Chain A
Amino acid sequence: ILNVEQSPQSLHVQEGDSTNFTCSFPSSNFYALHWYRWETAKSPEALFVMTLNGDEKKKGRISATLNTKEGYSYLYIKGSQPEDSATYLCAPTSSGSARQLTFGSGTQLTVLP
């Protein structure tokens, strides 16, 4: 089981603001990092799977970066919209446990109109 920390735990922003969250994980034996978006009363939906140090992924207004050497990933949302309100989960896996994802507790984002 990996030690995964996500910060902040929750965040309120105004519509149109840009924001970012952090996911920290052990840097040793890194294999992959997943980001998921989880809306209330729905199931988690994959955003990105990142495997290489320096990876940058983008999907619309959402992007993510990965630093495997220092053990962190940032998720950015540009120009937040109310429909971006959700909990954002990260989940790393290491080569020692490459068949298991360990999920962080998530960052709960609320975008106020």
Chain B
Amino acid sequence: NAGVTQTPKFQVLKTGQSMTLQCAQDMNHEYMSWYRQDPGMGLRLIHYSVGAGITDQGEVPNGYNVSRSTTEDFPLRLLSAAPSQTSVYFCASTRDSLNSPLHFGNGTRLTVT
């Protein structure tokens, strides 16, 4: 059972480039979310989804887009990367509500130069 799979593990971008961070889960979880982790800041919610076709903004959504066309996949798009988006990104999922624990992917370390 793969759980939550994130790709790539590492990525270097130049300012202004675009890219998509992939997240897939095979647990039939309705809820999926993206966090970024910065030193001294803890985990901050970027976007989340409570089911296919439904997305919503978290604490720090600016500069990021998401979509949820299937239950399994929740990609995070950076349309025009900025150095402030240098961070470690985690995707996490859970059954259907937040009285169940989150299952985290292994993270993507992104550097924007």
Residues of A within 8 A of B (CB): 1, 31-32, 34, 36, 42-46, 49, 51, 89, 91, 93, 98-106
Contacts and interface: CB of A to CB of B under 8 A. Distances in A.
15 contacts: A34-B102, A36-B102, A43-B104, A43-B107, A44-B92, A44-B102, A89-B42, A91-B43, A100-B45, A100-B48, A100-B58, A100-B59, A101-B98, A102-B59, A103-B35
Given A31-B99, A105-B42, 6 more contacts: A46-B103, A51-B99, A93-B98, A102-B45, A102-B59, A103-B44
B74 interface: no
B53 interface: no
Contacts of B107: 43
Contacts of B15: none
B100 interface: yes
B2 interface: no
Contact of A99 (B98, B100, B101, B104): B98
A106 B45 CA distance: 15
Interface residues of B, number: 26
Interface string B28-63: 000100010000111111001010000010110000
B48 A99 contact: yes
Contacts of A31: 98-99
| Across the A-B interface, the 3 shortest Cβ-Cβ residue pairs | A46-B101, A43-B104, A103-B43
B42 A98 contact: no
Given A104-B42, A105-B42, A99 B102 contact: no
B18 interface: no
